[in-house]
Chains A and B, each alone.
Chain A
Amino acid sequence: MRIAGFLLLIAGWFLVLSALVLLRAAWPQAAFVLAGMAVEALGLGMVLRSHVTPHGRHG
């Protein structure tokens, strides 16, 4: 889950970069950038969850 989360973070960033290169109109570009950030948020959530220490395994 951790690796998948980091891959989603990177994929979301590439979506944002793609929006800059491929789209010209302001609102579709903004929507595409927000979509990329949503993918990043999903990835960040997965990485955060993967680092939650399971109960009973705390130092």
Chain B
Amino acid sequence: MSAALAAAAVLLIPLTIAGLAVINAGLVRSRNAAHLMMASLCAVGVGAAAYIICGFSWQGLAGGPASVISVAGRDWNWAARQPLFLSGVNVTGFAQGLAVWMQILCVALATMIPLGGGAERWRLSAMCASTALLAGITYPLFAHWAWGGGWLAQLGVNYGLGYGFVDVGGSGTIHCVGGLTALAMVWILGPRRGKYSADGLPMAMPAHHAVFALFGCLLTWAGWVGLNTAGALLIGAIDPGRLGLVGINTTLAAGSAALMTAIVTRIRFGRPDASLTANGWVAGLVAGSAGCALVPPAAAIVIGLIAGLLAPLAIENLESRLSIDDPGGAVSVHAIGGIWGLIATGMFARFPMESFGARGRSDVGQWVAQLVGVATLLGFVLPLSYGLNRLLDRFLPQRATPEGERQGLDLHELGAPAYPEFLTHSDEFLQR
């Protein structure tokens, strides 16, 4: 029963990937839309290949062979030790095959996130190379620590910190890793040409297709229910009886976040902003993932409301005060939303007896475990991602040429625009 449920849930995850790709494509200008969708396809292909070639070797599955060091008499499980190319995994067996398949989809989802941050100025070839680094090195290391029986997952056993680092649906493992990689890329690429005036004021570069962005939200909703359900069954080992709660919480977090963003933008700008509301919706999904099977529905609403408040405020302030030009809102939605989701899990989670062996509310130890996970994302994942991509930039420049940016990456890199029948407005080509 639970095996069939898990398989059905995993089948839904590609909708999340498709939804994010459509949202990102809708949020960029029309001259870069086809390039972004093309980049999404390439990211899935490169990410899956890099993960299978070497990424899975570091990540492994919980209980598999691992590199363990002893510090002050306690075991620290740092990395898996699986052979390359999945050769140590029985992929024809249902359980292991399904677990690996889910991980490939999670990697593919993580690789979608930086595309939103680097949109409109990230060269396709460099993006593929950067994706290989994310899927082959950065993601698998953190995923092993959190999901593969690594030291974060064992904080409860080794150090008495609650039930260890809990991230059922991947707020940290997928979204924060992807969002922090997006931040590193935004820093390395710099802002788009014409984004800031000479006196430093950000210029509006409106999304070209609000319907795409909002339709993508509905796609992500369907996929996210599958992602959180698969995470609850295959990673959290949650009792199948709680799967209804997973769906309820996923929907409540997304809906309340979108409503809050619509209200915030109505207050700030006089009307609800469709693009930012799409970002708020996804921020709610991201924040609700970590504790999707463990928090009561009322808490899911609170998690969503705060995520929906944080997302538009972060997007506005990062852009205007810190020169973070992030067309897809990847940093605010996935990194900040993911961190909030991890902290909220420490605040609101109720651990069921049937899955965790002891019933209990979150205590100080669980809080500390969640904070250690957040500290690891900021203190390890962000510097690693920045360092790897900065190094890559020396050998393979990541930013498109000024002429390519002015022309639009559709024409410049793909040779054809997304909408050939559209008129091009000459003022878009003027330097500000």
Contacts and interface: CB of A to CB of B under 8 A. Distances in A.
Interface stretch (B19-27, B242-250, B285-293, B368-376): B368-376
Interface in A22-56: 22, 26-27, 29-30, 33-34, 36-37, 40, 44, 47-49, 51-56
Q: Which among B155, B197, B199, B382 has the greatest number of chain A C-beta atoms within 10 A?
A: B382
Given A30-B364, A51-B322, A59 B379 contact: no
By secondary structure, the B interface counts as helix
Nearest to A45: B322
A10 B378 CA distance: 8
Contacts of A47: 187
B242 to A, nearest CB: 28
Interface string A1-38: 00000100110111010001110001101100110110
A30 B378 contact: no
Nearest to A47: B187
Given A6-B383, A53-B190, A20 B155 contact: yes
Nearest to B432: A58
A33 B74 contact: no
Contacts of A51: 187, 322-324
A56 to B, nearest CB: 5
Nearest to A49: B322
Contact of B371 (A14, A27, A33, A59): A33
B155 to A, nearest CB: 7
A33 B159 CA distance: 13
Contacts of B71: 21
Given A55-B198, A58-B197, A48 B322 contact: yes
Nearest to A11: B379
A48 B364 CA distance: 31
Interface residues of A, number: 31
A13 B198 contact: no
B29 interface: no
Contacts of B371: 16, 30, 33-34, 37
Contacts of A37: 371, 374-375, 378
By CB atoms of chain A within 10 A, which of B161, B364, B375, B387 has the most?
Answer: B375
Nearest to B386: A6
B383 A16 contact: no
Nearest to B158: A20
B195 A9 contact: no
A36 to B, nearest CB: 6
Given A21-B72, A26-B365, A34-B371, A53 B379 contact: no
Contacts of A53: 190-191, 196, 200, 323
A54 B387 CA distance: 23
B203 to A, nearest CB: 9
8 contacts: A9-B379, A20-B155, A20-B372, A26-B368, A53-B200, A56-B199, A58-B196, A59-B402
Given A16-B371, A59-B192, 13 more contacts: A9-B383, A12-B379, A13-B379, A16-B375, A21-B74, A27-B364, A30-B368, A33-B368, A34-B371, A51-B187, A51-B324, A55-B200, A59-B402
8 closest A-B pairs by beta carbon, nearest first, are: A13-B379, A58-B196, A59-B193, A16-B375, A55-B200, A53-B323, A52-B323, A51-B187
